[in-house]
């Protein structure tokens, strides 16, 4: 009887140890991938604030598209470049971002959150307050997350 209790305790100890190890090994890659997606999100906002066109474009997939509010869809990296050139020529961005949710399935991710800050027009120094919701759809290609779709309002 005493031997049986001892074996039961060891069994449960090893079972619980295995379960903890399994759950940790399953969540680490997901957390790492979420951090990689966050790096894209925070990186593009930092590049926006610096008006660093090349850095901004490095976060986009070649066939990405933007869906801005009350404007036509902007498709492809060349049109996205033209859009950012216009923005950086006419405005100064001071933005911050907060992610609310990141969902990852295989090589695809969805990131939602809020963008806050200001846009100052260079022509007259007028300031527009920004308080937007966004949805960013990303694809992982050759180990790097790239933005495929960006929607905000």
pLDDT recorded at residue 54: 98
Predicted confidence (pLDDT) per residue in 101-126, tens digit? 999 999 999 999 999 999 999 999 99
Q: What's the pLDDT band for 10 if we cut at 50, 70, 90?
A: low
Question: Which residue is listed with tokens 């474009």?
Answer: 57
Distance CA 92, CA 75 (A): 23
Residues 6 or more apart in contact with residue 145 via CB below 8 angstroms? 36, 37, 39, 40, 109, 138, 139
Predicted confidence (pLDDT) per residue in 39-90, tens digit? 999 999 999 999 999 999 999 999 999 999 999 999 999 999 999 999 999 9
Q: How many CB atoms lie within 10 A of CB 99?
A: 16
pLDDT recorded at residue 4: 52
pLDDT > 70? residue 25: no
pLDDT recorded at residue 5: 53
Q: What's the pLDDT band for 30 if we cut at 50, 70, 90?
A: confident
Global confidence as pTM: 0.80
For the chain, the residue count is 153
pLDDT > 80? residue 26: no
Distance CA 109, CA 139 (A): 6
Structure tokens at 5: 């209790």
pLDDT recorded at residue 2: 55
Q: How many CB atoms lie within 10 A of CB 56?
A: 22
Q: How many CB atoms lie within 10 A of CB 59?
A: 22
Question: How far is the CA of 108 from the CAs of 23, 35, 69, 122, in angstroms?
Answer: 22, 14, 24, 37
pLDDT > 70? residue 15: no
Distance CA 115, CA 151 (A): 12
In the chain, the domains with their CATH numbers are 2-152 (3.10.450.50)
Distance CA 126, CA 119 (A): 8
pLDDT recorded at residue 1: 54
């Amino acid at each position: 009887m005493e031997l049986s209790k001892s074996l039961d305790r060891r069994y449960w100890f090893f079972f619980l140890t295995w379960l903890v190890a399994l759950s940790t090994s399953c969540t680490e890659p997901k957390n790492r991938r979420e951090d990689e997606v966050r790096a894209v999100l925070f990186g593009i906002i930092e590049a926006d604030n610096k008006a660093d066109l090349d850095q901004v474009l490095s976060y986009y997939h070649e066939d990405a598209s933007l869906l801005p509010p009350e404007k036509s869809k902007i498709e492809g990296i060349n049109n996205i470049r033209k859009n950012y050139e216009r923005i950086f020529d006419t405005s100064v961005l001071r933005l911050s971002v907060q992610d609310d949710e990141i969902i990852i399935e295989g090589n695809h991710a969805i990131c939602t959150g809020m963008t806050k800050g200001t846009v100052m027009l260079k022509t007259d120094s007028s300031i527009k307050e920004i308080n937007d919701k966004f949805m960013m759809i990303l694809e992982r290609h050759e180990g790097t997350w790239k933005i495929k779709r960006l929607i905000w309002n």
